[in-house]
Structure 1
Amino acid sequence: MVGLNKCNFSERELISFNQKSLTINRKLKINQYAEG
């Protein structure tokens, strides 16, 4: 059980990670659009 818990993200961690990756993707898209 302990090993499984280490491997699994908690829902909050997953949600915050998804939000961070979404904002990073938006910034990248904006930069690409601005450049060209």
Structure 2
Amino acid sequence: MFLAYGVRLNLSIEIIFGIYVKKELSMLHGRWRYYKSL
């Protein structure tokens, strides 16, 4: 029971972290392209 809850919590953290990292990477990529085009 507790183990399943821990796995679910870990999974949700991984999903949130993955979304955050993707957003940060796309922002960095956009900034890099912006500076490159200057």
TM-score by length of 1: 0.73
- Runs in 1 of length 4+ with deviation above 4 angstroms? none
Percent of aligned pairs with the same amino acid: 10
TM-score by length of 2: 0.69
Q: Any unmatched runs of 5+ in structure 2?
A: 33-38
Tell me the distance in 1 between the aligned counterparts of 2:29 and 2:10: 28
Tell me the distance in 2 between the aligned counterparts of 1:33 and 1:11: 32
Aligned residue number for residue 34 of structure 1: 30
The number of residue pairs the alignment matches comes to 29
Kindly indicate which of the two structures has a greater share of residues assigned to helix.
2
